Amino acid sequence: MGFKALGLETFGVDNAQEGLAALKKLTRESDDYAIIYIEENLAGELEHEISRYKDSPTPAIILIPGRQGSLGLGQNALKAAVERAVGTNILGD
Amino acid sequence: MASTTITPTRMVLNQLKGRLKTARRGHKLLKDKRDELMRQFMDVVKQNKALRLRVEEGLTQAFASLQVASSIMSPEMLEQALLYPRQSVELGMDFKNIMSVNVPLYSFKTKNNDPAEIYPYGFAQTSGELDDALDQLSRVFEDMLELAQVEKTMQLLAEEIEKTRRRVNALEYVMIPELEGNIKYISMKLEENENATKVRLLKVKEMVLQDAHHYQQ
């Protein structure tokens, strides 16, 4: 995809199993990756694996919208964090 | 809430009083920490919200441009054009300390500083739409990096706030009341003992006097 031209490393996957394998490879077998961007439609199926890294400083796993546009998962993560800290959703949406 | 294991002696009473004082001070400190963390957190959340909107919008646009480009060019050509990146990004990582929470700070260095270097292909065989798409993507990328930083900061702060809040509540609603209860229990018990001793002494005095002088009250 286009990110490759920017100098990022890209890993194309076709389904959730491949995604999981790729993610595990990036997170467990090396410390070289500080930020991992995952498309939302894939991330929805890898939630369990992603949430393992929520509380560790590295790597940062960031959801980005895929080709279909935003699914709102990234914004959900924001809401979840607020809810966790404050105890209730104070953003009002 | 006096538990059965405490012994009502003055020594334990003093110990408990010391612990209560420490608990009160810790509670105050933790409460301050929580408030400050919360203030920082709210800033980060606002930042994050704005950034995320910007990134999602930018990416959607960039992907749309890419889609246009891929509909104009054949898939093989597109793949070939993007196959070997000329640009590479090096990500530096540092930590910043916010209220004893280590949050990441990213800095990135591109190998080529010339902005035109993002196009890893010759212009002759590719369409202009692809150039546009890559241009948009490269601009979004800076925001994406910042988003990563802000979002991670937010998650780490959220975790820390949760922990601190738990501690504050545990001190406020469990530790401190329990200590206060124990202290009250001991001081009451001590008072009772004192009274018992006094009464016993009076009684003994009476008996002694009666023995000595056949004294009648």
- The Cα of A83 is separated from the nearest Cα of chain B by a number of Å equal to 9
Per-residue pLDDT, B123: 65
Residue of A nearest to B120 (CA): A5
Report chain B residues whose CB lies below 8 A from the CB of A86: 38, 161
B66 vs B206 pLDDT, higher one: B206
Radius of gyration of chain B (CA): 37
Position A21 pLDDT exceeds 70: yes
Q: How confident is the model at residue A92 (pLDDT cuts 50, 70, 90)?
A: low
* Inter-chain CB proximity B104 and A2 less than 8 Å: no
Instruction: Say whether pLDDT at B63 is over 90.
Output: no
**How much is the pLDDT for B96?**
80
- Cβ atoms B144, B56 nearer than 8 A: no
Query: Which residue segment(s) compose the domain that A43 sits in?
Result: 10-86
In a domain, B8, yes or no: no
CATH number of domain containing B152: 1.10.287.3240
Q: Is residue B148 part of a domain?
A: yes
Instruction: Compute the distance between CA of residue A5 and CA of residue B62 in angstroms, rounded to an integer.
Output: 13
Question: What's the pLDDT band for B183 if we cut at 50, 70, 90?
Answer: very high
Q: Residue B95's closest chain A neighbor by CA? A: A57
Q: Which residues from chain B sit within 8 angstroms of residue A75, using beta carbons? A: 49, 52
Burial of A66 (0-12, 13-18, 19+ CB in 10 A): middle
Residue in A closest to B96 by C-alpha: A57
**pLDDT-based confidence at A7, cuts 50/70/90?**
low
What is the spatial distance between Cα B22 and Cα A32, in angstroms, rounded to a whole number?
44
Distance CA B117, CA B87 (A): 6
Q: pLDDT for B148-179, tens place per residue?
A: 888 888 888 888 898 999 999 999 999 999 99
Q: What confidence category does residue B193 fall into, taking pLDDT thresholds of 50, 70 and 90?
A: very high
Which residue bears the tokens 């194309």?
A: A12
Chain A hits for B111, Cβ within 8 Å: 7
Q: Is B95 inside any structural domain?
A: yes
Average pLDDT over residues B175-194: 93
Chain B residues with CB under 8 Å of A34 CB are: 91, 93, 104, 106
- Strand partners for A60: A35
Domain harbouring A24, CATH code: 3.40.50.10580
The predicted-structure confidence for B8-44, as pLDDT tens digits, reads as follows 889 999 999 999 999 999 999 999 999 999 999 889 8
Token pair of A79, please? 């809401």
Of the two residues A13 and B217, the one the predictor is more confident about is: A13
Mean pLDDT for the stretch of residues A68-85: 77
pLDDT, tens only, B115-154: 555 666 666 667 777 777 777 887 888 888 888 888 888 8
Q: What are phi and psi of B71, to 5 degrees?
A: -80, -25
User: Best-predicted range by mean pLDDT among A58-62, A85-89, B158-162?
Assistant: B158-162
Compute the distance between CA of residue B111 and CA of residue B128 in angstroms, rounded to an integer.
Answer: 24
Instruction: Determine, yes or no, domain membership for A79.
Output: yes
> Does residue A91 sit at the B interface (CB-CB below 8 Å)?
yes
A92: in domain: no
Range of the domain at B35: 24-165
Looking at residue A51, its amino acid is: S
> Exposed, middle or buried, B149 (CB in 10 Å: 0-12/13-18/19+)?
buried
**A30 close contact with B: CB closer than 8 A:** no
The tally of domains found in chain A comes to 1
pLDDT at B125: 67
Interface membership of A89 toward B (CB under 8 Å) = no
Position with higher pLDDT, B117 vs A11: A11
Tell me the mean pLDDT in the region A56-72.
Answer: 76
Residue B10 lies in a domain: no
DSSP A92: -
Provide CB contacts within 8 A for B34, sequence distance 6+: B161, B164, B165, B168
In a domain, A93, yes or no: no
A31 contact B CB<8A: no
Give the nearest partner residue to A74 out of B56, B85, B159, using CB atoms. Answer: B56
- Torsion angle of the four alpha carbons B157, B163, B168, B169, in this order, in degrees rounded to the nearest 10: 120
Q: Is residue B197 domain-resident? A: no
Task: Using CB atoms, pick whichever of A6, A55, A60 lies closest to residue B141.
Answer: A6
Q: Is B68 exposed, middle or buried (0-12, 13-18, 19+ CB in 10 A)?
A: middle
Q: What is the pTM of this model?
A: 0.78
Q: Give me the residue from A8, A66, A84 closest to B158, CB to CB.
A: A84
Closest-CA residue of A relative to B157 is A85
* Of A69 and A87, the one with more pLDDT: A87
Closest listed residue to residue B11, CA positions, set B158, B190, B197, B168 = B190
What is chain B's mean pLDDT, rounded? 83
- Name the more confident of B101 and B36: B36
Q: How many domains does chain B have?
A: 1
- What is the ipTM metric for this complex? 0.82
In a domain, B204, yes or no: no
CA distances to A54, B86, B194, B196, B210 from B205, in Å? 75, 105, 16, 14, 8
Identify the pLDDT of residue A65: 80
